[in-house]
Amino acid sequence: FGGRLPDPVTASPAEVAAFFAGLGGAERHRLVAAHPGVVGNLDGAPVALRYEANAAAGPHVLAYDPRGRGLIARVVGDLDTATHVAVLVPGSDIDLGSSDRLTRWATDLQEAAGDDTAVIAWAGYTTPDGIGVDLATGRLARAGAARLTRFTQGLDAAGLPDPALFCHSYGSVVCGLAASRTDARDLVVMGSPGMRAANVAALRTTAHVWAAESPHDWITHVPHTEFLGLGHGPDPTSPGFGARVLPAADVPAHDAYFTPGTSTLTAFGAIAGGELR
């Protein structure tokens, strides 16, 4: 990096933000031109520069890595003017090639929340692919939690509001493991196999914790247990867990929590927009 860019592995998002704050506009743009793949994925870098670096992947792309199955984070709404920010954390089988589904959910959530809310469709970790042992273990969730933690720290370093995290399916395992290390103001899980925590207190977070589970969701047939590393623990909608349970009886399927007209999307919009506490 010519001694100029912070090391993307060792530099904290706060250090990255401080580095860019010390540069002039022309110098920033030269770095984008020279190292788009680094700047575009550098948590703590200014949002506008990350958009510029990732422009080849489309508008409002906050992170982009085409290697392997691919990773991407797209923004719906205006981060520059947003007073509320939400991050969607997906479950299995979401990657660069299938991220349009996550972007559609983000679009529906942003419309429900209103213009002062920006929603980030964060396909930013390697999700379980198909049905296999990865769905039942925490291996990918631990790696995803580290990436989610750094990503949210980058939002904070860029001066953005504390986010509401919306965590679907296996994504709720990721969020459960990251909960104590983020500044999330709300933590919303839906269709969750568990959060690798016995209860809300075990998450060690100050965030409001919400949970939704449809009676029509196949996840209701999955044992909510953990034994020798397999399984992810109690159902977050169970009375003993301590989350605030959202209505979900009208949600027809596991992947339908963000469907317009459902009680869940209405509640999600109110949470994302800061109207429901």
- Considering the domain architecture, whether residues 125 and 249 belong to the same structural domain is answered as yes
Tell me whether residue 152 is exposed, middle or buried, using C-beta atoms within 10 angstroms of its C-beta: 0 to 12, 13 to 18, 19 or more. Answer: buried
- Considering the domain architecture, whether residues 34 and 104 belong to the same structural domain is answered as no
- Residue 192's domain comprises 59-272
- Model confidence over 40-77: pLDDT tens digits? 999 999 999 999 999 999 999 999 999 999 999 999 99
CA–CA distance, 141 with 173 (Å, rounded to integer): 6
In a domain? residue 277: no
In a domain? residue 205: yes
- Model confidence over 163-199: pLDDT tens digits? 999 999 999 999 999 999 999 999 999 999 999 999 9
pLDDT for residue 1: 42
In a domain? residue 95: yes
- Considering the domain architecture, whether residues 49 and 65 belong to the same structural domain is answered as no
In a domain? residue 79: yes
Distances (CA, A) of 148 to 2, 120, 122: 28, 12, 9
- Considering the domain architecture, whether residues 217 and 203 belong to the same structural domain is answered as yes
Phi-psi region of 61 (alpha: psi -120 to 50; beta: other; left: phi over 0): beta
- Considering the domain architecture, whether residues 27 and 64 belong to the same structural domain is answered as no
Banded model confidence at residue 224, pLDDT cuts 50, 70, 90: confident
Mean pLDDT of the 253-266 span: 98
**Model confidence at 3: pLDDT above 80:** no
Helix residue spans in the chain (DSSP H)? 13-21, 25-34, 36-39, 47-53, 99-113, 133-136, 139-157, 171-178, 200-203, 263-272
- Considering the domain architecture, whether residues 118 and 137 belong to the same structural domain is answered as yes
- Considering the domain architecture, whether residues 218 and 89 belong to the same structural domain is answered as yes
- Considering the domain architecture, whether residues 179 and 46 belong to the same structural domain is answered as no
- Considering the domain architecture, whether residues 26 and 129 belong to the same structural domain is answered as no
Q: Which two tokens stand for residue 56?
A: 């080849």
**Model confidence at 232: pLDDT above 90:** no
- Considering the domain architecture, whether residues 28 and 102 belong to the same structural domain is answered as no
Question: Distance of alpha carbon 139 from its chain centroid, rounded?
Answer: 17
In the chain, count of helices (H) and strands (E)?
10, 8
Are the beta carbons of 49 and 190 closer than 8 angstroms? no
Mean pLDDT across the chain, nearest whole number? Answer: 94
CA–CA distance, 45 with 227 (Å, rounded to integer): 41
Per the structure, the count of domains in the chain is 2
CATH number, residue 117: 3.40.50.1820
In a domain? residue 99: yes
* Single-letter amino acid, residue 91: G
Strand partners, 72: 64, 123
Of all residues in the chain, the percent with pLDDT exceeding 90 is 87
The sign of the torsion formed by the CA atoms of 199, 203, 208, 209 equals: negative
Question: Which of 12, 27, 53 is a domain's end point?
Answer: 53
